[in-house]
Amino acid sequence: MSEAVGCKKPEPEIFRTAAAAVGAPLTGAWVIGDSPHSDIAGADALGLRSVWVADGRGWTDDSCRPAHVAQDVVSAIDHAITAPE
């Protein structure tokens, strides 16, 4: 998708384009990812909630913070689905 949009994460346009491609608004969206820079900082720049898939790693980025930390993708998705708005 990056090539088609002309930018890469963490640029806000890539998140907007992804949401539009599936017909979903970004309002209330969660970003789930394993990259502090690309995924979590990108979500933070748009004011979106995020779940970082830690996979045993500790958080070391001081520029942003995920709303939630999960150890694997399944628990990350579960959190995003069941979290209150």
3 state SS of 26? coil
Cβ atoms of residues 59 and 66 within 8 Å: yes
Could you tell me how many residues make up the chain?
Answer: 85
Rounded to whole angstroms, the Cα distance separating 41 from 64 reads 6
pLDDT of residue 18: 93
Are the C-beta atoms of 83 and 75 separated by less than 8 Å? no
Task: Determine which helix (DSSP H) or strand (DSSP E) holds 45, and give its type and residue range.
Answer: helix 41-45
Count the Cβ atoms, other than its own, within 10 Å of residue 50: 25
Domains of the chain: 2-82 (3.40.50.1000)
- What pLDDT is stored for residue 5 in this prediction? 81
Provide the residue-wise pLDDT of the chain in tens; the chain has 85 residues: 777 888 999 999 999 999 999 999 999 999 999 999 999 999 999 999 999 999 999 999 999 999 999 999 999 999 999 988 7
